[in-house]
Amino acid sequence: MDLMVNIDIKKLSQPIGYKDNILLIGSCFTEHIGNALQELKYPVLQNPNGILFGPDSVCKSLLSYIQNKQYTKADLFQLNEVWNSWQHHSRFSNINADVAVAVINQSQEKAHKFLKDADWLIITLGSSYTYQLTPLADKATETTGNTVANCHRAPANWFAKQMLETEDIKSMLEDCLKQLKAFNPKLKFLFTISPVRHIRDGVVENNRSKARLIESAHYIVNKFESAFYFPAYELVIDVLRDYRFYDIDLVHPNYPATEFVLGKFAEFCIDDESRLLMQEVKKIVIARKHKAFQPQTKAHQQFLLSHLEKTKELQQKYPFLNLKEELDYFSKT
């Protein structure tokens, strides 16, 4: 008896491999994929602006990387003694405006260089809602009525909220991909929709929002030969489809759900050789996390020596892997 609905997931015609440079951008679910790939030593750069939810903020950020846009203090605003950027996550905020600008511009420069030679861009869209500054916010922050990527816990009356129309989402994504392909012709795209449920918007509204993202993503996939779709959203909503696979907030997929999706991602999006290598790298990474209660014992010293040799062999066989952290750790004999 089948206990799960079967999804016909198509393998990527050009699967991802260890030698591919991968830029990931979008919602918090992006970072589940990015963190997993990074831990297994894939060359990744994720969310240079921090977490982004809407297609408008994702596209705006990507275009800024192409242009290598440099920010100034005039692009920031101060709230509760902290300087923030409307286009960046709060992790870029700082009590010192010059420090905030410097950190933002370092990230911009890094994203520009990485994108120029990237092989894959993985985009995870979370919401169709957009937030625009009201005149009240303009007056309070001395900024102009732009759409924002992050609200920074500012007063609710500083923002006008609306759901983007499907045609507008299609248009901004299509224009963005065209500019990205002109900047880096070899770039390939993988779209996913975040399974995180934006219940604060309302259950009906959340489903409408996700539906517009799904429709837009498939429009782009059909339009560009270099664009593909991975059904992360459908795997959680239609295959797992049980609150056992959500966190206590009933909104975020929990660890088993995330691992299930990542397993399918590896199966259908990563080439066979890289999947085998992932298992070897995973053993080294797990050993690196081992915490010895008595590090001076002969048993622990032998453990370090044994894994040092295994890591050296792996590094010699696959010189493109960055195993410096593991080599340094196992060298502490």
> What gap in Å lies between CA 106 and CA 253, rounded to an integer?
32
pTM of the model: 0.93
> What gap in Å lies between CA 298 and CA 103, rounded to an integer?
45
Task: List beta partners, residue 192.
Answer: 124
> What gap in Å lies between CA 229 and CA 10, rounded to an integer?
9
Q: Helix 166-183 crosses helix 55-67 at what angle (to 10 degrees)?
A: 20
Q: How many angstroms separate the Cα of 11 from the Cα of each of 93, 177, 231?
A: 40, 22, 12
Contact 32, 258 (CB under 8 A): yes
Highest mean pLDDT among 111-125, 150-164, 279-293: 111-125
Confidence of residue 3 (pLDDT cuts 50, 70, 90): low
- Mean per-residue pLDDT for 121-132? 96
With a cut of 70, say whether residue 1 has pLDDT above it.
no
Would you kindly state where each structural domain of the chain is located, as residue ranges? 22-270, 272-333
Q: How far apart are the first and last CA of the chain?
A: 54
Task: List beta partners, residue 16.
Answer: 270
Res 138: pLDDT: 74
pLDDT digits (tens, 9 = 90+) for 128-150: 999 999 988 877 777 665 889 99
Task: Name the token pair of 202.
Answer: 């309302």
Contact 147, 163 (CB under 8 A): no
Number of C-beta neighbours around residue 225 at 10 A: 9
- Mean per-residue pLDDT for 106-117? 98
Contact 289, 330 (CB under 8 A): no
Contact 146, 129 (CB under 8 A): no
Among 84-93, 139-148, 259-268, which stretch is predicted with the lowest mean pLDDT?
139-148
Q: Which long-range contacts (CB under 8 A, 24 or more apart) does 245-250 make?
A: 250/197, 250/199
Contact 225, 175 (CB under 8 A): no
- Mean per-residue pLDDT for 257-274? 95
> What gap in Å lies between CA 55 and CA 57, rounded to an integer?
6
* Pair type for strands 188-193 and 120-125: parallel
Pick the CATH number of 22-270 from 3.40.50.1110, 3.40.1080.10, 3.40.50.2000, 3.60.90.10: 3.40.50.1110
> Got the DSSP string for 211-246?
HHHHHHHHHHHHH-TTEEE--HHHIIIIII-SGGGB
With a cut of 70, say whether residue 333 has pLDDT above it.
no
The C-alpha angle 224, 126, 58, rounded to 5 degrees, equals 60
Number of helical (H) and strand (E) elements in the chain, helices listed first: 11, 10
Residue type, 262: L
With a cut of 80, say whether residue 4 has pLDDT above it.
no
Confidence of residue 14 (pLDDT cuts 50, 70, 90): very high
- Mean per-residue pLDDT for 8-12? 90
